Amino acid sequence: MWKEYYVAMLLLVNGIWDFKRREVCIPVILLSMVVGLAVNVRFRELSAVEILGGLGIGVVMVILSFLTKGAIGMGDGWLLCATGVFLGASGNFELLLTGALICAAALGIGLLLGKVHWKDSFPFAPFLCLAQFWRMFL
């Protein structure tokens, strides 16, 4: 269960950072990836397939960032790489889908209320943070 809390804190720090600066904190993300890999090697909590699958979700997001010329943030992909090391493929996929659904709901309401416009950019890490708290407590 400690990994869920670690991921929540990682997403909370980066969610605040992303909301204020429109970027994530790459050094914290890279350090978290190293810590996650070291813990998994030491305690063998996740299989190599689960770790690679979790990393793969983040790598796909980084590739999508290149393909969309930054419409999807590259930092979000790196953040999902870090969470994937801790959560594995299934947990990271659940995190991504839950975050996307929360984001779609919030922005849909914002569009209807006229507070958000179709071409606006927005930080995604806060939605991932909300998704992690959703995963943990609901």
The answer on pLDDT for 14 being more than 90 is: yes
Question: Residue 36: which of 50, 15, 19 has the closest Cα?
Answer: 50
Quote the DSSP letter at residue 118: T
Instruction: Provide the phi-psi class of 69: left if phi over 0, else alpha when psi is between -120 and 50, else beta.
Output: left
The pLDDT assigned to 138 comes to 86
The answer on pLDDT for 134 being more than 90 is: yes
Per-residue pLDDT band for 71 (boundaries 50, 70, 90) equals confident
Instruction: Burial-class residue 96 by CB neighbours within 10 Å (0-12, 13-18, 19+).
Output: buried
The answer on pLDDT for 119 being more than 90 is: no
Per-residue pLDDT band for 118 (boundaries 50, 70, 90) equals confident
More confidently predicted of 128 and 44: 128
How confident is the prediction for the chain on average, in pLDDT?
Answer: 95
The pLDDT assigned to 120 comes to 86
Q: Which residue range(s) make up the domain with 107?
A: 2-137
The pLDDT assigned to 92 comes to 98
How do residues 18-46 score in pLDDT, each as one tens digit?
999 999 999 999 999 999 999 999 998 89
Domain total for the chain? 1
Q: Where are the alpha helices (DSSP H) in the chain?
A: 2-21, 26-43, 48-67, 74-113, 125-137
Question: What sign results for the dihedral spanned by CA atoms 107, 56, 67, 35?
Answer: positive
The answer on pLDDT for 1 being more than 90 is: no
